[in-house]
């Protein structure tokens, strides 16, 4: 299935993160679809957990157990590279240029952030959970931290869900991050011809006027750019209202800003974004300010 690129600008570099789990396979499949339609180069990254401090010590001073751990690390890296080479061969059959990256790091998300800084991708693609993701949590901690700390847009793809751009939903609360996400949504809609739902959620009666103004502003901006939108004013808890609208309207891509009006800078991301990603039945694109 051919997918029109997700993003407002040209996609030349995609960074897809895997840990070998089934939950990360959707991210890899989405990256192949995007690369085939946009001609992007894919960087397939897996971070192998290191043994903190051991790599800084001379081999002759290491304890026997440390040397065994180094041998285990070498085996893990070899197995990881072999697994990624199989994905590389799969990509080659589809005509996708895929480069393998294996990075050793004490903390997985640090390795991803360092690799992203080196590659400068237009988009990072991840699964919602990894091997260490607990299903009682909204999303895996690695995914959450990459979204929170990375300056790049992040596409989160749930397991077993294909990437499509036929019906988009963007929810705004009027925050700067929401405005950036709305511009991204408009651009994607123009490029793909996808139907675009402009959504804002009122949590109580006192929010209705403000929410209606937000939706009207979204509609006006879309009209200026020649994009037809379906305005929706919803009521309730934002993440619940968004989840229900996604299911009822058949949305296949949600677009959100990383923080909303109540998002504190000390938090990894706004609570609505976190819950939206955790409960979404379709991929979610998280847009960062200044990364259009």
Tell me which of 3.40.50.150, 3.30.70.100, 3.40.50.620, 3.30.70.920 is the CATH number of domain 13-157: 3.40.50.620
Q: Where are the domains of the chain?
A: 13-157, 167-287
Instruction: Please state, in angstroms and rounded to a whole number, the distance separating the CA atoms of residues 15 and 27.
Output: 10
pLDDT of residue 266: 37
Strand locations in 189-283 (E): 195-202, 229-235, 253-257
**Homologous superfamily, domain 167-287:** HUPs (3.40.50.620)
pLDDT at 10: 75
d(CA 68, CA 179): 52
Q: Which pLDDT score is estimated for 139?
A: 43
CA distances from 211 to 85, 144, 274, 279 (A): 49, 28, 21, 23
Q: Is residue 30 a contact partner of residue 163, using CB atoms and an 8 Å limit?
A: yes
Environment class of 25 (CB within 10 Å of its CB; exposed 0-12, middle 13-18, buried 19+): middle
Task: Indicate the pairing of strand 154-157 with strand 284-287.
Answer: antiparallel
Averages of pLDDT over each 10 residues, the chain, 292 residues: 50 92 89 93 91 44 52 86 96 97 88 95 84 42 84 90 90 89 93 93 90 96 94 90 92 83 42 65 85 47
- The answer to whether the 13-157 and 167-287 domains have the same CATH topology is yes
Global pTM reads 0.83
Continuous segment of H or E residues that includes residue 17: strand 13-17
Which of 43, 23, 22 has its CA nearest to residue 32?
43
Instruction: Report CA torsion sign: 128, 159, 3, 125.
Output: positive
């Amino acid at each position: 299935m051919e997918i029109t690129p997700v993003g407002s600008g040209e996609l030349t570099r995609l960074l897809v993160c895997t840990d070998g789990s089934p939950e990360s396979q959707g991210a890899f499949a989405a990256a192949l679809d995007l690369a085939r339609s946009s001609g992007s180069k894919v960087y397939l990254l897996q971070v192998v957990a290191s043994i903190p401090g051991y790599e800084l010590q001379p081999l002759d001073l290491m304890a026997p157990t440390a040397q065994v751990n180094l041998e285990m690390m070498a085996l893990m890296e070899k197995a990881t590279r072999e697994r990624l080479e199989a994905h590389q061969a799969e990509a080659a059959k589809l005509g996708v240029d895929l480069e393998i990256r294996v990075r050793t790091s004490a903390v997985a998300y640090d390795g991803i952030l360092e690799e992203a800084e080196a590659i400068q991708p237009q988009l990072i693609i991840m699964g919602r959970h990894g091997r260490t993701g607990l299903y009682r949590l909204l999303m895996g901690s690695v995914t959450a931290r990459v979204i929170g700390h990375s300056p790049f847009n992040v596409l989160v793809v749930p397991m077993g869900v294909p990437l499509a751009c036929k019906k988009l939903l963007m929810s705004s609360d009027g925050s700067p991050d929401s405005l950036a996400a709305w511009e991204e949504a408009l651009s994607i809609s123009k490029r793909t011809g996808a139907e675009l739902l402009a959504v804002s959620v009122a949590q109580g009666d006192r929010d209705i006027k403000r929410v209606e103004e937000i939706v009207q502003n979204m509609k006006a901006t879309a009209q200026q750019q020649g994009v037809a939108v379906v305005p929706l004013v919803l009521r309730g808890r934002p993440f619940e209202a968004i989840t229900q609208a996604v299911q009822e309207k058949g949305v296949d891509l949600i677009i959100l800003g990383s923080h909303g009006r109540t998002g504190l800078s000390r938090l990894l991301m706004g609570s609505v974004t976190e819950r939206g990603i955790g409960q979404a039945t379709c991929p979610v694109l998280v847009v960062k300010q200044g990364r259009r």
